[in-house]
């Protein structure tokens, strides 16, 4: 027996993969909106974790730039509370001591050039230059989109991104409200920055299992030959959330489900499933292939949208034993709001690989469970030689589970023991948690993405043409929905799998949602 293979039945054997150490030089991160929700919930706890896991260099500084008056000490208290509240593990005193020394605060006005001059001096004061003599600065724009133009212009005007500073910008979603505003924003950025400096973040791309889609597809030669219209009947992508809109009504009322999830997270998942093999793993090779998918997605006309998309808004209901209110009764939503919180739709990709293969996408808030999953439904054999006893579980199905179960499961047909010729679907599976037995640290999406930006790797960030192409796919849906009366909202109860129309949408093609 080969020495790589364990002789203990059932035991897995691993080749030893040494944890990758990232070599990052001194940097300063300036967080615009460093006291806001996103900073408190995600960014600051993530930066603390990176420090805890010794992923940050010795020399770095984090400067929060926000409007309220605060001292450095007061800001450190805010960060400590955020880490305590929003991190998984407890805070370690020694690590906190170390981390907090790198935190600074500056109050300023995003529109006021004077504030940027002070920011420039502050960066020089706290940041050590890198080996080339310049200071590496990452500007994290964790602010609502309306502030972006002013910030870009001032950063450029006050020379905070050139000369003595080498700058990168991380821009949060939503990137624009539609294609034309995204394109205007891109043109504005392009006046002062090069594309290599821009990191448009989509945290879905930082999820380990999302990145694994490419590894799974292109490292396993057994699936790629089947990955096309000849063998695949259809694909389903579900991003179901049990959460409601929480504290974000003001944002959500303006956005709705298509801008919030479909235009970015779902388009990214779809592209990773549908793209052609890239010629290399460098950022642009992958992004080139994704853009081709968005450009070949069939643009929907009004008639198609009316027939093949479904919108919904949740009513009151019960999730896991807890009663929850309807969307319109959430804090700060309009009592007669028409904002959709659910989307289902059928997409086609008009290229040689995917012609006529439907991609059914479904997402919603306050659904029965939190689950993100992609299922690839292979065609059933042309002749039904066997009698199936299980109508619910079909064989020839591949499931890529993104959350909460991070797994890959193949449903295959086997003979059910007994005299009859009954076919039975069983699962062959890989589950990250069970199979790697807790040995492996899962970086949180923001950990991975922040480290990539610090390293200068843009692979997991959206390029200018990518964001515009994604908008081009969803714009007609948003527009059509805006101009036609919505169904009577609410049309699904919190804790359900969405409106009945979503079942009719897929049912009309003789199929059903895998999760229902």
d(CA 410, CA 396): 7
Q: Is 217 exposed, middle or buried (0-12, 13-18, 19+ CB in 10 A)?
A: middle
**Are 247 and 330 a contacting pair, CB within 8 Å?**
no
Beta 232-240 vs 371-378: how paired, if at all? antiparallel
d(CA 447, CA 87): 12
**Are 285 and 278 a contacting pair, CB within 8 Å?**
yes
What is the rounded radius of gyration, in angstroms, for the C-alpha atoms of the chain?
25
Q: How far is the CB of 254 from ligand BG6 (least distance, A)?
A: 12
Q: How far is the CB of 446 from ligand BG6 (least distance, A)?
A: 10
Q: How far is the CB of 66 from ligand BG6 (least distance, A)?
A: 21
Please state the φ and ψ torsions of residue 65, each to the nearest 5 degrees.
-120, 110
Q: How far is the CB of 25 from ligand BG6 (least distance, A)?
A: 30
Structure tokens at 316: 């009151």
Q: How far is the CB of 372 from ligand BG6 (least distance, A)?
A: 6
Please state the φ and ψ torsions of residue 402, each to the nearest 5 degrees.
-95, -45
Tell me whether residue 341 or residue 496 sits nearer to ligand BG6 (CB atom): 341
d(CA 253, CA 339): 6
Q: Is 245 exposed, middle or buried (0-12, 13-18, 19+ CB in 10 A)?
A: buried
Q: How far is the CB of 239 from ligand BG6 (least distance, A)?
A: 7
Annotated catalytic residue 265: yes
Closest to 450 (Cα-Cα) out of 206, 164, 129, 126:
206
d(CA 443, CA 212): 13
d(CA 376, CA 367): 22
Closest to 476 (Cα-Cα) out of 301, 334, 237, 231:
301
| CB burial readout 256-285, b (16+ within 10 A) else e | bbbbbbbbbbbbbbbbbbbbeebeeeebee
Closest to 253 (Cα-Cα) out of 336, 363, 367, 142:
336
- Give just the sign of the alpha carbon dihedral 389, 391, 397, 401: negative
Q: How far is the CB of 321 from ligand BG6 (least distance, A)?
A: 21
The residues binding ligand BG6 (CB under 6 A) are 241, 243, 260, 372
**Are 206 and 445 a contacting pair, CB within 8 Å?**
yes
Could you say which of 234, 265, 377, 411 is catalytic?
265
Tell me whether residue 24 or residue 142 sits nearer to ligand BG6 (CB atom): 142
**Are 322 and 316 a contacting pair, CB within 8 Å?**
no
Please state the φ and ψ torsions of residue 76, each to the nearest 5 degrees.
-60, -35
Q: How far is the CB of 133 from ligand BG6 (least distance, A)?
A: 38
Q: How far is the CB of 402 from ligand BG6 (least distance, A)?
A: 8
List CB contacts of 79: < 8 A, sequence separation 6 or more: 44, 48, 100, 103
**Are 512 and 344 a contacting pair, CB within 8 Å?**
no
Which residue, judged by CB position, is nearest to ligand BG6 in the bound state? 260
Tell me whether residue 166 or residue 260 sits nearer to ligand BG6 (CB atom): 260
Tell me whether residue 241 or residue 289 sits nearer to ligand BG6 (CB atom): 241
Closest to 292 (Cα-Cα) out of 262, 270, 308:
270
Catalytic residues: 265
């Amino acid at each position: 027996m080969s020495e790589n293979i364990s002789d203990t039945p059932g035991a897995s054997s691993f080749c030893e993969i040494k944890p990758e150490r990232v070599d990052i030089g001194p940097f300063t991160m300036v967080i615009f909106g460093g006291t806001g929700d996103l900073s408190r919930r995600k960014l600051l706890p993530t930066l603390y974790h990176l420090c805890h896991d010794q992923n940050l260099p010795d020399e770095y500084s984090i400067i929060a730039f926000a409007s309220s008056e605060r001292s450095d000490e007061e800001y450190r208290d805010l960060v400590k509370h955020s880490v305590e509240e929003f991190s998984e593990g407890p805070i370690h005193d020694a690590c906190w001591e170390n981390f907090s020394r790198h935190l600074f605060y500056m109050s300023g006005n995003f529109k006021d050039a004077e504030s940027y001059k002070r920011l420039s001096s502050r960066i020089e004061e706290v940041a050590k230059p890198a080996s080339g003599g310049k200071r590496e600065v990452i500007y994290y724009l964790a602010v609502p989109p309306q502030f972006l133009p002013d910030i870009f212009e001032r950063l450029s005007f006050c020379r905070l991104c050139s000369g003595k500073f080498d700058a990168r910008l991380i821009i949060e979603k939503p990137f624009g409200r539609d294609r034309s505003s995204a394109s205007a924003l891109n043109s504005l950025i392009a006046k002062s920055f090069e594309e290599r400096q821009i990191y448009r973040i989509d945290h879905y791309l930082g999820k380990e299992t999302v990145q694994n889609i490419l590894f799974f597809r292109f490292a396993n030669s057994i699936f790629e030959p089947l990955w096309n219209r000849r063998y695949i009947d259809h694909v389903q992508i579900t991003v179901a959330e049990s959460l409601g809109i929480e504290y974000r009504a003001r944002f959500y009322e303006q956005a709705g489900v298509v801008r919030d999830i479909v235009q970015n997270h779902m388009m990214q998942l779809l592209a990773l499933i549908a793209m052609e093999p890239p010629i290399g793993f460098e950022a642009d090779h992958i992004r080139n292939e994704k853009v081709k998918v968005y450009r070949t997605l069939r643009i929907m006309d009004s008639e198609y949208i009316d027939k093949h998309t479904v919108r919904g808004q949740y009513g009151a209901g019960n999730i896991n034993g807890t009663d929850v209110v309807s969307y319109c009764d959430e804090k700060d939503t309009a009592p007669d709001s028409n904002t959709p919180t659910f989307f289902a739709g059928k997409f086609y990709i008009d290229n040689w690989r995917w012609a006529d293969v439907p991609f059914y996408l479904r997402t919603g808030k306050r659904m029965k469970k939190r689950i993100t999953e992609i299922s690839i439904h292979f065609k059933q054999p042309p002749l039904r030689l066997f009698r199936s006893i299980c109508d619910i579980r079909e064989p020839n199905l591949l499931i890529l589970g993104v959350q909460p179960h991070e797994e890959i499961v193949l449903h295959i047909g086997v003979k059910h023991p007994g005299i009859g010729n009954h076919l039975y679907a069983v699962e062959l599976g890989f589950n990250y948690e069970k199979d790697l037995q807790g040995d492996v640290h899962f970086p949180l999406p923001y950990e991975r993405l922040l480290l990539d930006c610090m390293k200068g790797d843009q692979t997991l960030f959206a390029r200018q043409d990518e964001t515009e192409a994604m908008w081009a796919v969803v714009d007609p849906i948003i527009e059509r929905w805006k101009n036609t009366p919505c169904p009577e909202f609410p049309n699904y109860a919190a804790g359900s799998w969405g409106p009945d129309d979503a079942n009719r949408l897929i049912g009309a093609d003789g199929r059903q949602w895998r999760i229902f």
